[in-house]
Structure 1
Amino acid sequence: MSTRLPFWATIFTVAGVIVLCGLGTWQVQRLSWKNDIIAGLNAAYDNPQSQAIDIAAFTPGSYAYGRISGVFLPDKAILLGPKTKKDKIGYDLIVPVKQNGTAVFVNMGWTASKLEDLPIHHLQNKKVWFEGLARTPRWNSFTPENDPEKNLWYKPDLNEIAAAKNLKNPAPFILYAERASHKFDASFPNNERWMPANNHLQYTVFWFTMALALCAIYVLRFIRKS
């Protein structure tokens, strides 16, 4: 006796399985991509080089580890945040460095001090270098809008910051400094080594599990019942 399967239920089930497997496959590709990034970052952290970062070759969303050098501009520094550290409210200190006509924003780390109290102003217009990880800044839709007139900065919109500080040609990344040419004091730079979140394996398992669950529901509901 032949089994007649419901047409629309079959169509929707097949389409659902295709979509879910497609999402799972996409996460497998993302997992491989993220693993390559993490491996590259680990290699850079384990074997730090003093080579200059190629600003022109940097693409948004990528990462680079190395050195930038140029003229230090603490008079155009900002405090980005707020950001909590060890139950204390503070900010990330962002200072631009002018390198061959490009404004490179350097994150020197967390501070709870006011800009005018920081040990950076004695190096105004001095030649400096910083080494660390360059990465594209990000923020979400819940981040408040910046208020340049009050010098209040919540999101690292580099073009907006550059315009407010009268800086031309901002680099497309922030350098999270780990080492510097000068000793500011014991607190700078103080960035911790960063790694991107990698949850793609869990997402892969989830989407393929959903595909299997959909198949099981279809079999139990229509084929086994018949």
Structure 2
Amino acid sequence: MTARRVLVPAFAGGGALLAVVAFLALGVWQLQRREWKHALIAGVEARAHAAPAALPARAEWPLVTAARDAYRRVEAEGRFRHDREVLVRATTALGSGYWVMTPLETAGGTVLVNRGFVPPERRDPASRPASTDPVRVTGLLRITEPGGGFLRSNDPAAGNWYSRDVAAIAAARDLADAAPFFIDVEGIPGTYPAGGLTVLRFHDNHLVYALTWFSLAFMAGAGGIIVLRHRRGGERMAA
């Protein structure tokens, strides 16, 4: 009986202490994640609103990374290959429709360009400009989106695309020397394809998560204290 009176409070106190330490660690981790996310957002905002830089050279393509290059504002010159465009299903602020992904042949290779959004009634290529004259495009460098949409996979054979998978599109359209990224063009209001619809929004709930973990740490500590006090009170009454 004496051993039980000693072990039960010890286990209760130890369990509460472990819970407090674990919850505090998780809260601190979320604060660290919050700092990382804020740095990420600041970097993206700076790159997206900077003066446009030249497209990475062919030798630099393997070095392009999401952390350093995603949403970098770039410009490129070349000719569009409208005969090899791909329509990727999209849901935007303008409704549901398609992204018009068109290869741009440049002096350094081919880069896919998301010329913008079109509604279903403008799916026909004849409903939008298709000039083969040299053009200069300005937009945001985007990292490839391999795979497909939620619960859907790209089906190149059927022409059904749910993600902007650069490698898969390049293979389906026989594009040699295609860059491993694409460009979201800046748009001209009132025209189709409608560009400039890139969403620069990142979830930032880390402070809420941190406060939740800290609250759980407080409750675990308070619960442990209550259990110990209740146990000691019962021991005094028994004595």
SS in 2 for 1:146: coil
Report the count of equivalent residues. Answer: 218
Pairing 1:42-191 to 2, within 5 Å after superposition: 42-45=45-48, 47-54=49-56, 56=61, 57-62=63-68, 63-69=70-76, 70-83=78-91, 85-86=93-94, 88-112=95-119, 113-123=122-132, 126-138=133-145, 142-178=150-186, 186-191=191-196
Contact 1:53 1:65 in 2 (8 A): no
Contact 1:78 1:93 in 2 (8 A): yes
Kindly indicate which of the two structures has a greater share of residues assigned to helix.
Answer: 2
Residues of 1 paired with 2:230 and 2:55: CA distance?
62
- Which residue identity does 1:21 align to in structure 2? L
- Which residue identity does 1:199 align to in structure 2? N
- Which residue identity does 1:22 align to in structure 2? A
Identity %: 27
Residues of 1 paired with 2:80 and 2:22: CA distance?
52
Ranges in structure 2 where 5+ consecutive residues have no aligned partner: 233-239
Ranges in structure 1 where 5+ consecutive residues have no aligned partner: none
Mean CA deviation greater in 189-198 or 2-11: 2-11
Q: If the length of structure 2 is used for normalisation, what is the TM-score?
A: 0.73
SS in 2 for 1:214: helix
Residues of 2 paired with 1:169 and 1:12: CA distance?
60
RMSD of aligned Cα (Å):
3.2
Pairing 1:195-206 to 2, within 5 Å after superposition: 195=200, 196-206=202-212
Contact 2:170 2:176 in 1 (8 A): yes
Change (3 A) 1:17 1:122: same
